[in-house]
Amino acid sequence: MTDLMPAIFFGHGNPMNAVSKNVYTEGWRAIGRSIPRPRAILAVSAHWYIPGCGVTINAAPPTIHDFGGFPQELYEVAYPAPGSPELARRVRDLLSPLPVELDESWGLDHGTWSVLTHVFPDADIPVVQLAIDERQPSTFHYELGKRLAPLREEGVLVAGSGNLVHNLHSYAWGRDGVNAYDWAVRFEKRARDLLLAGDDAPLVAYEGLGRDAMLSVPTPDHYLPLLYVLGLRRKDDPVSFPVEGVDGGSVSMLAVRIG
């Protein structure tokens, strides 16, 4: 019998975490050791945010270095996990009648591989990415998560990757030891309380949570992966936060585990 997989949202933060050893990357490694080994991974990354819905069908997805201005060692990172055309087609079928493109143009972007290189460093578990349709409201993404729920019974780890709080305009570039901004602290606490209470509606309609939410989520891309994970939650699933912290004052590194 296949173990019921948890669903996990990772706050991925700076791409340099891929080649760093810190409290966040150690927390990601601990997650990999604590969960059942998945048959495959479906990743929903903030960095595949496009006008449409697609899923990678590559048998050998490339490692995409979708950033600029970083040290050369980061561009040399490869995460050679196999893909899974079988899982890609299963996702398409679960989301039907929504048109889902079977995509060979994308691969694994840093929202996926910067985390998985620590969670599953051997890169031996098949990985498929699901695009986030930038044209759609938050309710759409939450409902897609619900439709993906059978994957948990099929040994698939659904991993959202973004950041609960992600405001790069306020980020303390080049400064260490910066305290989190008050608004970031308040919004993260509000979100955590709602997650623990099982109250998804305000999190889906996050724009209604006031000024703190607007500062914490100035654009939806890094927040929406959380809603896919929330959609997978069962009534009695426990919620935990295996990784915590705020980087640069305005990027939450919170990880949210469902189940």
pLDDT in tens, 189-241: 999 999 999 999 999 999 999 999 999 999 999 999 999 999 999 989 999 99
Domains (ranges, CATH) in the chain? 7-258 (3.40.830.10)
CA distance 68 to 220: 22
- Position 174 scores a pLDDT of 65
Q: Tell the burial category of 189 from Cβ atoms under 10 Å away from its Cβ (0-12, 13-18, 19+).
A: exposed
pLDDT in tens, 162-177: 999 999 999 887 677 7
